[in-house]
Structure 1
Amino acid sequence: MRIRRRTASIAATLSFAAACIGSAHAIEKPEDLTVQKLPAWHPHEVFVVDISMPSMTDARVYLYDADAKKLLGQIDAGFAPGFAISPDHKTSFVSTTYFARGSHGTRTDVVELTDNATLDHTGEIVIPPKHGQHVPSPYNTTFSADGKRLYVTNITPAASVTVIDVASKKVLSEIDMAACVLAFPSGNDRFTGLCESGKALTVTLDANGKETKRVMSDAFIDVDKDPAYINASPYQGAYLFTTFHGMVRTADFRGDKPVFGKPWSLLTDAERAEGWRPGGLQQTAVQAKLHRYYVAMHKGEDGSHKDPGTEVWVYDLQTKKRIARWDLSQQKIDPIASIQVSEDDKPLFYGITGTSDLVVMDARTGKLQHVEKQVGNTSSLLVNP
């Protein structure tokens, strides 16, 4: 009896399987694969660069639409990438490193091009295997003002800059930077590196991308008493450098000699005594149309310069006076390590928390718009072209 039941059960199972297979064959159709284009670029798109500390050979760049409150896609970014967007917003450039065996083997450094309409990989430029591998900065991969040249920072630990012609996708030169790092562009033919002495080295290029002149400035940063953050904010052709203790100074590298503005303070004496100071990884942002300067602030001490901001302080750059103070905890927002602001008539403020949550706020009022949870693993750089 048990044998008959078992035989009947097996027969029923096989009959059911055969029916399923037959049905599957009957409805199976070939798929038509297409690539959907992204919506047209608008100023509320923000790129989030994630170095991905848990898996550093697999960094990512995420594209987020703050109006739609939607993640649009991602760009693979290799190991410790630099990231820049062409002035016409059409193409993303990632300077990065790959190893033949994932985390080891032969090293190849490239600049990879991505079409921002589809996020398709459209080409690459092989560069000297010296690309600086560090937490992403706005100035380790940068464009000249006209978008014709790309500058990539190298550290071996010797410092240099690779100059690339964007149209031909050719390396034009490698500029020895005499231990000065990064590339702050000024105009179409020059860039500046920061030196450990607190000075700045400005290099001017000829039509072929070769060095024609270099100028070393006097020290404009006191690196012993009050160092400055390297992530300066561009404003009216110059750069705003903010120090660990909350002083701000402009640096204009466009002329034959650099011009440095008079330092001014973000803090009153009482606020400084309370321990308030800037902090984070991308600590400041400018909204040029409103002439506003946004700074992530926290209470800390010497050595807390990378601590995220519990508040955002907003300044009028014309009067150099604070006009707003946003306590993030009042809106149940976690401390923010990196900030950015859009450049349009209805500007948005962006922030990245320690858990890679993307915070979107009204840049005029500080009112919370949205929090997109965990955009990446260890995201640290916001790029809003």
Structure 2
Amino acid sequence: MKLRRLAAAMGAVLYGLLACQSHAGAAEKPEELTVAKVPPFNPHRVFVADVAFSSMTDARVHVFDGDTKRFVGQIDAGFAPGFTISPDHKTGYVATTYFARGGHGARTDVVEIIDNTTLDVAGEIVIPAKHAQTVPTPYLTNLSEDGSRLYVSNITPSTSVTVIDTAAKKVVGEIDMDGCVLAYPSGNDRFSSLCESGKALTVKLDATGKEASRKLSDAFIDVDKDPAFINAVRDGNTYLFTTFNGNVRTADFSGDAPVFGASWSLLSDQERKAGWRPGGLQQTALHVKSHRLYVAMHKGADGSHKDPGTEIWVYDTQSKKRVARWDLAKQKIDPLLSIQVSTDDKPLFYGLTPTSDLVVLDATTGKRQHVEKQLGSTSTLLLNP
């Protein structure tokens, strides 16, 4: 008898639920899911590579608009990705790794082609399963000047660079780099890599993307006394490398052999004695049109080169003199781990704090405009096309 009463009660409840659903369905239309288009490109859009070290199989790239101060969307990016953007801003390229069972199993490396109008994957290119899995840098995955060739750095631990034809969407070659790492493109037919000896190796490619020639330079970085950060900033085919001790050295990679400029210092003798030095993961940014070099600086000792900058020092690269000094704490801004600046005539300055806050400043005055809290979990790299 008790079982029959329980069954009858449950039936009444179920009937009531169905009746409510039927009534709600008659009154309301089902919600329709749509995919919104990304707003048209503007030069203040910034791409933030987010590699969560607690969950490295689930990286993503966050897209933020500095004008509207709004989060635009995100790109799923797999395991320890490299990321770059085409010269026309329409396409993103994610070089990444997937494992069949999440963190293990069969490995597949791919370059995913991203439609930047929707942030959807528009295609993929399978590449050799040796893509370098490291903290992101702009030179881990990079394009030739016209975007026709994509360079993906490999470490197994031997080093090489995979060359991809972006129009044909296929791998056209793999270049053995003799222990040198990363790819710093110049023009459409060559790139250079940094070697542990402080030298640069420049590889020239033929029309098919195969190696035509190579040239190893003399050492331009003293790796024992004053190592350089790998995240150089670029002005055409010339790269500005900043050292741990606060010196700048240029490298023109446009020819078969690099041409190196004279080293110059970011610091006065007094500032050097006080312990000021560059630091962070992406320590410098360059606004080419105004010849302004931005450097994240902190007070530290030998070995503090990964510490974030408490101040931003701004230099004129023509006169090699400091023209501004921004104390971040005065604007209640935490130290910055990575920095970037937009390329337009009214540039914005971007910075990432160790807690993944995205800071937006006026690049001319240093005045705070916006702080987007915790844009990701371990954001490490800022890209602005």
Which has the larger displacement, 118-127 or 24-33?
Answer: 24-33
- Structure 1 residue ranges without an equivalent (≥5): 1-5
Q: How far apart are the structure 1 equivalents of 2:141 and 2:9?
A: 67
Q: 1:224 to 1:18 in 2, by over 3 A?
A: closer
Q: How far apart are the structure 2 equivalents of 1:126 and 1:18?
A: 50
2:228 match: 228
Is the aligned partner of 1:357 residue 2:360? no
| 1:57-77, Cα deviation, whole Å (9 max, x unpaired) | 000100001111111100000
Q: How far apart are the structure 2 equivalents of 1:18 and 1:35?
A: 31
Contact 2:195 2:201 survives alignment (8 Å) = yes
Counterpart code for 1:234: R
1:35 match: 35
Q: How far apart are the structure 1 equivalents of 2:382 and 2:95?
A: 16
| 1:231-262, Cα deviation, whole Å (9 max, x unpaired) | 00002420000000000010001113210000
Is the aligned partner of 1:96 residue 2:96? yes
Counterpart code for 2:219: A
Counterpart code for 2:229: Y
| Equivalence map 1:126-275=2 (5 Å) | 126-275=126-275
SS in structure 2 of the partner of residue 270 of structure 1: helix
Contact 2:204 2:256 survives alignment (8 Å) = no
Q: How far apart are the structure 2 equivalents of 1:328 and 1:161?
A: 39
Q: How far apart are the structure 2 equivalents of 1:90 and 1:280?
A: 30
Which has the larger displacement, 133-142 or 17-26?
Answer: 17-26
Q: How far apart are the structure 1 equivalents of 2:18 and 2:98?
A: 48
SS in structure 1 of the partner of residue 271 of structure 2: helix
Shift of 1:23: 1.0
| 1:14-51, Cα deviation, whole Å (9 max, x unpaired) | 77545423312313534443221111100000000011
Q: How far apart are the structure 1 equivalents of 2:157 and 2:210?
A: 22
2:323 match: 323
Q: How far apart are the structure 1 equivalents of 2:176 and 2:67?
A: 43
Q: How far apart are the structure 2 equivalents of 1:21 and 1:49?
A: 44
Q: How far apart are the structure 2 equivalents of 1:177 and 1:171?
A: 17
Give the paired residue count. Answer: 380
Which has the larger displacement, 17-26 or 42-51?
Answer: 17-26
Q: How far apart are the structure 2 equivalents of 1:215 and 1:229?
A: 22
Counterpart code for 2:365: T
Q: 1:33 to 1:16 in 2, by over 3 A?
A: closer
1:3 match: none
Q: 1:123 to 1:9 in 2, by over 3 A?
A: closer
| 1:46-102, Cα deviation, whole Å (9 max, x unpaired) | 000011111100001000011111111000000000000011000110000000000
Q: How far apart are the structure 2 equivalents of 1:212 and 1:236?
A: 22
Q: How far apart are the structure 1 equivalents of 2:312 and 2:88?
A: 30
| 1:161-185, Cα deviation, whole Å (9 max, x unpaired) | 0000000111000000000000000
Contact 2:328 2:335 survives alignment (8 Å) = yes
Q: How far apart are the structure 2 equivalents of 1:205 and 1:18?
A: 69
SS in structure 1 of the partner of residue 270 of structure 2: helix
Q: How far apart are the structure 2 equivalents of 1:16 and 1:205?
A: 73
2:366 match: 366
2:76 match: 76
Contact 2:185 2:237 survives alignment (8 Å) = no
| 1:184-209, Cα deviation, whole Å (9 max, x unpaired) | 00000000000000000000000000
Which has the larger displacement, 19-28 or 208-217?
Answer: 19-28
Contact 2:202 2:256 survives alignment (8 Å) = no
Counterpart code for 2:217: S
2:339 match: 339
Shift of 1:214: 0.2
Shift of 1:12: 8.7
1:312 match: 312
Counterpart code for 1:280: G
| 1:290-329, Cα deviation, whole Å (9 max, x unpaired) | 1100000000001100000000000011100000000000
TM (norm. structure 2) is 0.96
- Structure 2 residue ranges without an equivalent (≥5): 1-5
| 1:115-169, Cα deviation, whole Å (9 max, x unpaired) | 0001111000000000000000000100001110000000000000000000011
Shift of 1:345: 1.1
2:3 match: none
| 1:320-346, Cα deviation, whole Å (9 max, x unpaired) | 000000000000000000000001111
Q: How far apart are the structure 2 equivalents of 1:246 and 1:138?
A: 21
Q: How far apart are the structure 2 equivalents of 1:15 and 1:64?
A: 48
Among all aligned residue pairs of Structure 1 and Structure 2, give the percentage whose two residues are the same amino acid. 70
Is the aligned partner of 1:57 residue 2:66? no
Q: How far apart are the structure 2 equivalents of 1:236 and 1:76?
A: 30
Q: How far apart are the structure 2 equivalents of 1:359 and 1:205?
A: 40
Counterpart code for 1:206: D
Q: 1:18 to 1:105 in 2, by over 3 A?
A: closer
